[in-house]
A and B are shown apart, each in its own frame.
Chain A
Amino acid sequence: DAKTTQPPSMDCAEGRAANLPCNHSTISGNEYVYWYRQIHSQGPQYIIHGLKNNETNEMASLIITEDRKSSTLILPHATLRDTAVYYCIVRVAAGANSKLTFGKGITLSVRP
């Protein structure tokens, strides 16, 4: 699987949008971009995924650049409960390499 690069940490103010960047410059055409987050002492939680088009759900929006070499996860109105480690993962859809490969992620701290 292609590797991803994320800054180690960032913070934002409660109520503001949190924009979490991810670089995946070696992504292949059949690889999806997934985002998970992990709140302290819990298992990872799925947020969103996409292939080429921008995606939005009740939790977040995913913006993928046209060349697919980077993406941004947007939490539109961050709350204190969004403080967590966020993992950006690229993954093929099927076959032997379809597992999720986690890096260190980015630690988001939402301040009051």
Chain B
Amino acid sequence: DTGVSQDPRHKITKRGQNVTFRCDPISEHNRLYWYRQTLGQGPEFLTYFQNEAQLEKSRLLSDRFSAERPKGSFSTLEIQRTEQGDSAMYLCASSLDPITEAFFGQGTRLTVV
């Protein structure tokens, strides 16, 4: 395991469909973060977990978004009833603790048509 892994790398979906993304953090990293990035902007925080506990959610995370980290290892981010405005790069990051650096995955690029 050499880094944070995200799957899929690309997803094209029709408006109204549900999508689920997966993130596998670096082993033993207890913190896991989800971000969203649109063109020309920096990544925007969505939510983070410490082990299996979801400790903070951004107001950007509407009721259509849900994230889980059931066993404190991998995490999933689900978007229900996708809208065109959900088109973005979804990034996952993990860190060992609050101070050490966070390592980011390559992201999942979502296109809603």
By a beta-carbon cutoff of 8 Å, the part of chain A in contact with chain B is: 32, 34, 42-46, 49, 85, 87, 92-96, 98-105
In terms of DSSP, what is the predominant structure of the interface of chain A? loop
B104 part of interface (Cβ distance < 8 Å):
yes
B60-108 interface (Cβ within 8 A of A): 91, 93, 98-99, 101-107
Residue tally, chain B, CB below 8 Å to A: 23
Top-8 shortest CB links A-B:
A43-B104, A102-B42, A46-B101, A98-B98, A94-B98, A102-B43, A93-B99, A44-B104
By a beta-carbon cutoff of 8 Å, the part of chain B in contact with chain A is: 4, 33, 35, 40-45, 48, 55-56, 91, 93, 98-99, 101-107
Cβ contact within 8 Å between A43 and B45: no
Residue of B nearest to A98 (CB): B98
Could you say which residues of chain B place their CB within 8 Å of the CB of A102?
35, 42-44
Cβ contact within 8 Å between A104 and B41: yes
A–B complex contacts, Cβ < 8 Å, 13 sampled: A34-B101, A43-B4, A93-B98, A94-B99, A99-B45, A99-B48, A99-B56, A101-B45, A102-B42, A102-B43, A103-B42, A104-B41, A104-B42
Q: How far is the CA of A62 from the CA of B42 in the complex (A)?
A: 21
